[in-house]
Amino acid sequence: MSDQTEAVKAYLLDLQDRICAALQNEDGQASFVEDAWQRPGGGGGRTRVIGDGAVIEKGGVNFSHVFGENLPPSASAHRPELAGRGFQALGVSLVIHPHNPHVPTSHANVRFFSAEKEGEEPVWWFGGGFDLTPYYGSEEDCVHWHRVAEQACAPFGADVYPRYKAWCDRYFHLKHRGEPRGIGGLFFDDLNEWGFDTCFAFIRAIGDAYIDAYLPIVQRRKATPYTPAQREFQEYRRGRYVEFNLVFDRGTLFGLQSGGRTESILMSLPPQVRWGYDWKPEPGSEEARLTEYFLTDRDWLGLQQA
């Protein structure tokens, strides 16, 4: 393993530790349980899960480092010149599903790929981002989430946040539903244009920003009273989350196609979900406002300036 890969691995392990500590402290009741695992084809990871807490109904913060002799189809489909190369893939991926429907679900991921072939220079890239999936929208929360994202990107160029915000809106989109999964954030992949040191610094900025983006929202909303009907609506909307992860998510497909650990890959799925045939919210309701106003690829920072 190269010095560069070692440095990325050390950062990701520390990031997992810090995020778990912050979330566990915020929950105040449940603790993360660690499941260390080995991949028969090469590599392994640390899956950490938390559930039935005071705030978090189910959550997971995974670290994985897997390697093999051939890139799986999901990784080489858009880079066919890399087919047949060996690979190293390292990342931290997390999803947090709170009990309270007024607290959004959050997702974050930072990862590093290196495609290797004997006698040739490795081809490497970074990817990742974070996005927010509310069930009951709040402009204050949306603006805060995107403000933290913009500030994390700012040292790397004024164009970075708008580019990766737009990429997030395109990526986390349920084509068969014609709607975004949530209110977005940042998404990027195949990042190597700035050279290794700057790209690695950017990944650290994004990974470190997640807790700053999410915890203030949790703290504002976790004590908000909610009704059984609101909880039921949360379960309907969670169904959209499941649909995206199983049909479109590149990380899920990579994990399954590369022989990854199924339990760790699917820990992102919520514990309670429902689907209803042709279910629609009442016109004019807060439930209807979620899709009509909040899930519209909105410029949240432009809204704040207006």
Q: Is 109 annotated as a binding residue?
A: yes
- What distance in Å separates the CA atoms of residue 247 and residue 241, rounded to the nearest whole number? 10
144 is in an annotated binding site: no
- The catalytic position among 65, 102, 107, 144 is 107
Q: Is 107 annotated as a binding residue?
A: yes
Q: Is there a binding annotation on residue 110?
A: yes
260 is in an annotated binding site: yes
Confirm whether residue 111 is marked as ligand binding. Answer: yes
Distances (CA, A) of 254 to 85, 188, 261, 292, 302: 15, 16, 11, 33, 35
Diameter of the chain measured on Cα atoms: 63
> Is 173 among the residues known to form the active site?
no
Q: Is there a binding annotation on residue 102?
A: no
The answer to whether 176 is a known ligand-binding residue is: yes
261 is in an annotated binding site: yes
Catalytic residues: 107
Binding residue positions:
93, 97, 107, 109-111, 146, 176, 259-261
Binding residue positions for a divalent metal cation:
97, 107, 146, 176
Binding residue positions for substrate:
93, 109-111, 259-261
